[in-house]
Structure 1
Amino acid sequence: MLKLILKRFGVAAATILGASLFSFFLLRKLPGDPARLIGGELADEQTIASLRHTMGLDAPLTQQFWNYISASFHGDLGFSYSTGQPVSDLVRTRLPATVELGITGVVTAVLLATVFAAIAVYRKKRGADVSLRFASSLAMGSPPFWLALVAILLLSVNLGIFPGPEGRLSPSLAPPPTVTGFYTVDSLLSGQFGTFVDAVRHLILPALTIAVGPFAFLSRLFRSQLRNTMREPFIVVARSRGLTRGSVFLRHAVPNSLLSLVAATAMLTAETMTGSVLVEKVFGWPGVGSLTVDAILQKDFSVVQGVILLSATLYVTVSFLADVVYVVVDPRIRAGAK
């Protein structure tokens, strides 16, 4: 088992390095000069050359990449060319909003997928099964940013049920004292229940929007796994011992089928938190996604590069942890690794 875990760790480290290498050289080839961005259009060539030297942009690309990787190991992702702030500080400030939104969306998707898939399989009625497949197919074919726009138009502008794209709180409310960075949690910890309700109302629409895609995938996966599990011999043995169908389904079929969701949910969590760029922008959500869009528009490649490195690290780390958990809980994988 240790050998398999070390192998997965090596693959994870190589993936992060490859993503860093790709993003670094790709961004260096795109139009735009960071030194010109800082110096302004009226700066003379001598000033621009001095800025390039100060920023290390006149060094060979291989040396620049080595300097960047070395600094990254110490948590230094450079500084923003447009704001002058360290990229690590910008990301640290925006990350809690993205994580809160991503976790809420994935948890919502998992709960809805397991409940609806379980109902469809247990009831054995064609209507429930067809409805689930139709809903998942429709969800898989709907772009998240389009769903975000439709949700705002219908539920915010027309019906007024939820607030518009105001961010995490209404403009009249101040953020709660920072403990975790999650407004819903921090408002409860500080006893600000009005702020908690407002934070939840602002969180519902974007969370549901990003939950649609994971729900579509997980509901299909769990439905398929449940149907296969219900045909397993141990289910027949359990029924032959006199257990009711509902008891067998809840105590044996569902827990055994949930194992298939471990890796899938982990991957979707990382993908959701790193891929909700447009949804964050549409809802005015002040997370890492909005930061990335703003940086691209301003040609602030240092921020984009830092976010790509962070996203790759997050994605690979979550995937690696999911693999480790899967190896620990599933003896079949451990047996295959020997």
Structure 2
Amino acid sequence: MSAAGSRGALSALKGVGGRLLSALPALFGVLALTFILMRVLPGDPASFFVSSPTAGEAELEIVRQRMGLDHPLPMQFLYYLRDLATGDFGTAMTTGRPVVDDLVERLPASLELTLAGLFLAVAIAVPAGVLAALRPGSVFDHGVRVICSAGVSLPTFVSGLLLIYIFYYWLGWAPDPTGRLDIFAFPPETVTGFLLIDCLLAGDWDTWWSSLSRLVLPACTMALFTIAPLARITRGSMLAVLTSEFVRTADAVGLPRWKVIVTYALRNALIPVVTVSGSIFSTMLGANVLVEKVFSWPGVGRYALDALMASDYAPVQGFVLLMATIFVFVNLVVDLLYAVIDPRVSLS
């Protein structure tokens, strides 16, 4: 490797390290805020996990000790930080298992759903935004803007229930919304945790088709509220790029129109689209709680919601920390994609 290449690699590593270090205070703030909010919720969490509704104070005190609630709040936080430093996220009272094991087991289901929804949204929104920018003021352009407004205004759980009613109850095209797999199907051996990929690795096409058919409706629900911002930012960015000097120059020298749009205009318009896609992915992963609940999807969102309703602190805190970490990682990936799309952008 040349000296210039070594300096570039070192500069990139420093940029990555700097971004990771700058994220530590934000992660600590998320930890502290979540910890305090969970403790100020009304009610006694120990009362949810006693064996009898008529349990006495002695039994409640035993449960409080198991949950670590018998210490002052500052000591509880210090103990929590100590456990996190050793990789111990605590034990979920609702499942009786370590929170880390529950999150690792359920995270692939949430990622599979979120990635499927984002892929579907990008596949629809980017071409729609480009076509709307190429024909501003047309019927298609107005239609895209109307759809964007409707997609933003409709809550995800409402659109999910509507899709279930139309395609499962009314038309009968979709399978019952009871999770990732039919109750009579046998899941393949877990390799990646992504059911579609594990079915492909096992060569089980019947199970693959069953899991895909159950993924369609929740993925469409996730995509509906994602298409709007992606299409809007693609349209606006393309309109700005199409009026720039280099595009007019490319048209003036006689380059094919498709080459001007794809090679020059679209590539330069992708940077804000990538930015929004990264933010939307993080938002989708944290906001799919209601979608997972509606479709009985066994992901981390539903896991955290069930724990929150039972005042089980450890799973909720683990979920929030996991989402914050993924958000930092996604932002770093977005920065790396900047350098791929536009060589003038560097991590340093």
After TM superposition, the score normalised by the length of structure 2 is: 0.89
- Equivalent position of 2:335 in the other structure: 323
- Equivalent position of 1:303 in the other structure: 315
Deviations 1:199-233 (A, max 9, x none): 11100110011111221001000110001101111
- Equivalent position of 1:131 in the other structure: 143
Is the counterpart of residue 157 in structure 1 residue 169 in structure 2? yes
Is the counterpart of residue 60 in structure 1 residue 64 in structure 2? no
Cα distance 1:324–1:11, how it changes in 2: closer, same or farther (>3 A)?
A: farther
SS of 1:39's partner is coil
Give the letter for the 1:224 counterpart. Answer: G
Deviations 1:236-273 (A, max 9, x none): 11112211222211121111111222221111111111
Residues paired across the two proteins, number: 336
Is the counterpart of residue 215 in structure 1 residue 215 in structure 2? no
User: Is the 8 Å Cα contact of residues 34 and 81 (structure 1) preserved in structure 2?
Assistant: no
- Equivalent position of 1:22 in the other structure: 33
Structure 1 spans left out of the alignment, 5+ residues: none
Alpha-carbon RMSD across the aligned residues, in angstroms, is 2.1
Q: For 1:136 and 1:74, how far apart are their aligned partners in 2?
A: 46
Moved over 4 A (4+): 1-7, 327-335
SS of 2:82's partner is helix
- Equivalent position of 1:13 in the other structure: 24
- Equivalent position of 2:269 in the other structure: 257
65-74 vs 326-335, which moves further: 326-335
Offset, 1:128: 1.1
User: Is the 8 Å Cα contact of residues 328 and 334 (structure 1) preserved in structure 2?
Assistant: no
Structure 2 spans left out of the alignment, 5+ residues: 1-10
1:74 aligned residue (63, 86, 103): 86
User: Is the 8 Å Cα contact of residues 12 and 317 (structure 1) preserved in structure 2?
Assistant: no
269-278 vs 289-298, which moves further: 289-298
- Equivalent position of 1:242 in the other structure: 254
SS of 2:49's partner is helix
Give the letter for the 1:32 counterpart. Answer: G
Q: For 2:215 and 2:198, how far apart are their aligned partners in 1?
A: 14
User: Is the 8 Å Cα contact of residues 83 and 89 (structure 2) preserved in structure 1?
Assistant: yes
- Equivalent position of 2:4 in the other structure: none
After TM superposition, the score normalised by the length of structure 1 is: 0.92
Offset, 1:123: 4.0
User: Is the 8 Å Cα contact of residues 39 and 47 (structure 1) preserved in structure 2?
Assistant: yes
